[in-house]
Amino acid sequence: MISRPPLRDGQFASLGRRRKVATPTIVMVTDNLNRGGLPRVVLNLCQVLIDEGLNVAIVIDGPVDPSMKPPQGASVIGERSRRHFLWPLTLFIRLTRLWINGPVQLVHSHQRGVSLVSTAWGRLFRVRSVEHVHNVIDAGATRKLSYRADAIVACSQTVAAHVRERYPWTEARLHVVTNRVDDQSGTAVRTLSPDPADSLLKIVTLGRLEPEKRPLFAVRLCQALGDHGLNVSFHWFGGGSLQQEVIDAARVAQVKNFHVHGHSDDPARALASADVFLLCSEREGLPLALLEALSLSLPVVVPDVGGCREAVRDGQNGILFHPGDSASSVAALLAGFLKRVPLDRAGERSREVFVNNFALESLAGDLMRVYASFPAR
């Protein structure tokens, strides 16, 4: 075992602006910084730690999308055009080099494979480890090795309940640090459409065009909404492997006003133009796009997967549907909701939910409480 000075009890409680000596480095580890919710969570965590006066490094083994700009003061180590086939070894080497060059007191990992390597590295080098759980995917063959870090952080209460049920050995080390986002209301002005009965109801989705996001379900839903007498203009922002298939499906089904825009460089503006925000996913953690929609006072229509239910007051600021429901059933739910609840009132409720539960300002306190919870070794 390689020896390093052990953490003192409650050491992390003293880190931050009040600390006068050189602070240890917090290392965020993930596979890449491509477009997506998980890399954005990583960058949000880095920003709040830097705001607390901590040194932060990000270790990856993959690309960095130009839109995913790390916060000032956070160094990125390991950028490459594609993941190396020996990535566990390269990750291990990068962490070791960081440890040699300066005090690494905590490694905070994201993604299951990355976390397995980071936790093993931390055990060898006597560095505290945190594993961040973003979704409820089962570990499969690696189940017995999973979630062995010093602390386990779930992105929502629902995800934490899943981890607790299926991996009971995590109970004493399991924490919830709810996903949070910047308030988008100051960067984009939302304009409500007129009465949807007399005009196009604009529905917007932000997400990758991949099977787990179920974009083909969105095509069927758009068609079903027309059958329920709603004039709909549907807009999907995001790219992916199913892009052409979705475009072709909408054309073959003769679904009018179904638009696929590709990646948006201004997602807040895309959301602000909507009347309703929609997700169709078969699995989620707690999607950032959903939280941003709440901040912009959007009614939301989302499946009851992952932590989505924590952002929806069913029948008040939107509707939850079962992921196995048919497009016709979801269309009927949405049509009924729009008849009962005016869009502006539902939007006001969304805004309340955001302010009370998901504003970014509370993230630092939640995270630092996890870091302060480690007992002395």
Domains in the chain: boundaries: 11-180+359-371, 184-357
Q: The tokens 């950032």 sit on which residue?
A: 288
What backbone torsions phi and psi does residue 301 show, to the nearest 5 degrees? -125, 110
Q: For residues 8, 13, 16 and 21, what is the CA-based torsion angle, rounded to 10 degrees?
A: -30
SS3 307: coil
Structure tokens at 87: 């990535």
- Of 19-33, 210-224, 254-268, 289-303, where does mean pLDDT reach its minimum? 19-33
Q: Which CATH number fits domain 11-180+359-371: 3.40.720.10, 3.40.50.2000, 3.50.50.60, 3.40.50.20?
A: 3.40.50.2000
CATH H-level, domain 184-357: superfamily:
Glycogen Phosphorylase B; (3.40.50.2000)
Domains 11-180+359-371 and 184-357 agree in fold: yes
CA atoms within 13 A on the CB side of 177: 28
Please write the tens of the pLDDT for every residue from 155-193: 999 999 999 999 999 999 999 999 999 998 866 555 555
49: pLDDT strictly greater than 70: yes
DSSP 8-class letter at 76: E
CA 190 to each of CA 20, 29, 177, 238, 273: distance values in angstroms, whole numbers, following the listed order: 45, 36, 29, 20, 6
Host H or E run for residue 55: strand 55-62
Alpha helices in the chain (DSSP H): 37-51, 87-101, 112-125, 157-166, 215-227, 243-252, 267-272, 288-295, 327-340, 343-357, 363-371
The Cα 159–Cα 179 span in angstroms is 11
Comparing CA positions, the residue from 164, 188, 190, 165 lying closest to residue 175 is 164
The Cα 312–Cα 37 span in angstroms is 19
What is the value of pTM for the model shown? Answer: 0.89
Please write the tens of the pLDDT for every residue from 63-86: 999 999 999 999 999 999 999 899
Averaged pLDDT score across all residues of the chain: 89
Per the CB < 8 A criterion, the answer to whether 133 and 154 are in contact is yes
15: pLDDT strictly greater than 50: no
Structure tokens at 297: 């006072």
Residue 139's pLDDT is 66
pLDDT grade, residue 375 (50/70/90)?
Answer: low
Comparing CA positions, the residue from 286, 236, 279, 270 lying closest to residue 44 is 286
SS3 56: strand
Residue 265's pLDDT is 84
Per the CB < 8 A criterion, the answer to whether 272 and 350 are in contact is no
201: pLDDT strictly greater than 70: yes
**Sequential DSSP letters for 123-137:** HHHT-EEEEEE-S--
Residue 24's pLDDT is 65
CA 97 to each of CA 29, 77, 189, 353, 372: distance values in angstroms, whole numbers, following the listed order: 14, 11, 46, 44, 25
Please write the tens of the pLDDT for every residue from 329-347: 999 999 999 999 999 999 9
The Cα 103–Cα 83 span in angstroms is 27
CA 280 to mean position of chain CA atoms: 15
Interhelix angle for 288-295 vs 343-357, to 10°? Answer: 120
Classify burial at 134, counting beta carbons within 10 Å of its beta carbon; exposed 0-12, middle 13-18, buried 19 or more: buried
- Taking only Cα atoms into account, the Rg of the chain, rounded to an integer number of angstroms, comes to 22
Residue 17's pLDDT is 38
Residue 189's pLDDT is 54
pLDDT grade, residue 209 (50/70/90)?
Answer: very high
SS3 291: helix
